[in-house]
Structure 1
Amino acid sequence: MAAKKTLVTWTRAKPAPVVVISGGESVLVRKAQDRIVTACRKHKGLETTHLDAAHYEAGALPLAAAPSLFATRKLVVVDSVAQCGDDFLADALAYVGDVNEDAVVVLKHSGGNRGSKLLTAIDRAGYPRIDAQAMKSEADRQAFAAAEFTRAERTIEPPALGALMSALGADLSELNAGIEQLLQDTTGPITEQMVDRYYGGRVEATGFKVADAAVAGRSAEALTLLRHALATGSDPVPLVAAVALKLRTMARVQGLSGGSGQLAAELKMAPWQVDRARRDLRSWNDVALGRALLEVAHADEAVKGGGRDPVYAVERLVTRVSAQAREH
């Protein structure tokens, strides 16, 4: 009979005789492990053991998980299962066939084929796998952020969530740390001003502020923001990239009808990105957007070695994009 894989989200992680945390997204791995450990600690006399499957001594797992006269519950956390050796595989396979029901064995497997026989045996036995795969899309990371605020019973305004994603959304670890800081340091609804106070100085956030001002036709503001960013050490390459992303998002949304949620799913974007692009497009037409995208292509080449002066190239881009917005 084929093995049945039982994948659950980290928010539903709970103790079981064997639990696999499957994937390499460190934030999700930690959160899943924390939930299991917290649940296990409710039992008095918990005995916890940490093992490393990549540097394993034969017999260590069955010894750590064996029934004990001194502990009512055992927790064994095993790191690096994806790099395990034959001794660990042999012991783990034997243990899955004869578990201690008073123990919880957490196996952390980051991915790859090593240990696939063990995972198949665990699936066949019906033990859960916790999904901790990397979040590759911004929409997934935004959904994670929104859910974290909901779990904390806090409200974050849509513009504030957009600003947070602009500043930290490229990396889940940084995003999670930013969420935790906002939750700890603030009270009440989280506003765009709060997010800007904490993270507005980041290169990513600065780049998007420059892009927002340029696309809105506010040339003086865009150039002031740009020059401040350059003076404080920002590189022209990510600044051009921010303008490029803004214009390409507008181009993807242009001419499409339907609700923001529907379009977001089709375009693999977040709903707030669709709404923002639609607002930006009110002062643009096809010709202006095409010209601006050509300017982006020229600037991108110039700041990546094709021009003599990267600073001049990004200033020229901002000026010309702002001019296109004002003309149309």
Structure 2
Amino acid sequence: MKNNITIIIVLLFVLCSCKRETKSKIINNTISSSVRISVDSIAQIESLKILSSDAYLGRETGTKGAELSRNYIGDKFTALKLGKLGGSYFQSFPYNGSNDHGDAKEGLAYNVIGLIRGTEQSNKFIVVGAHYDHLGTSGKKVYNGADDNASGTAALFSIATYFKENPPKHSIIIAAWDGEEIGLLGSQYYVNHSIILQKDILCNINMDMIGRSKKNELFITGTPHNKLLKDSVVTSLYSNKIKILTGHDGDDREDDWTYSSDHGSFHKKGIPFLYFGVEDHKDYHKTSDVFESIQQAFYLEATRVVIQATKRADECFAR
């Protein structure tokens, strides 16, 4: 771990005053009546289990597994009654790339994108995303990608459910990206071909691998790049179940996550981001990244933290 500072932080939904992140000490505030965010744990875990099952063939871009995955995601968006941008949940784009196996392929890939309209500033958008593609198969072996990134994809459904039930001030785009494993292609295509003007995207919140951590640590990357997200969002988060840390921002010139996942596509365009993820584990990009290795309590709490961050960003950008 490279100079990562633990932040024990408090969720205060009634106020949106800016607090400065204190890196030299733990913030020891206490909660008298914290607002608990509930998620449908059974539904979320079931979605993760389905997406990471052998039936989905490792969800490699351009394969039958990817088709099954995007149709599953689209069906979930339909059930949640999410809005559509451009008349469809599916945004197709051409791709040409190779995965970790060195397999070079080309064809069409598909982002799956839904919309929750804001109640006050619906022409401004927070993009909450996670990539759904993984590495596919090699011979008879399936790369299930439970943590990477069925975990983030299934969390999108809980986040969408929360904001359907608790409408945001700004519009929220719920995005499942394709082509991340071959170069962040889906998110890159989106930022270059969105029907929404870039200036109207307030920030990107990205999830990639939030399902397990031996050290019980969830990292947030991106705070040095935007003062509002740093001072008003990150320092308001709270969990008494997992450790929330900032880091991997390249301050030590090592292990920099700034461009490691789809948030990098937004950062290149000058759009603020917060990336939630865990450090690489022994099953990263291996066939052993399976549903049974997910730490369910950690995973569900990580999802609640991301919901907190999204809610807090929505409140603070409205000031």
Q: Fold-level match, TM-score > 0.5?
A: no
Normalised to the residue count of structure 1, the TM-score between the two structures is 0.21
Relative contact order, CA 8 A, sep 6+: which one is greater? 2
Identify, as 1 or 2, the structure richer in strand.
2
Normalised to the residue count of structure 2, the TM-score between the two structures is 0.22
Identify, as 1 or 2, the structure richer in helix.
1
- Larger radius of gyration between Structure 1 and Structure 2: 1
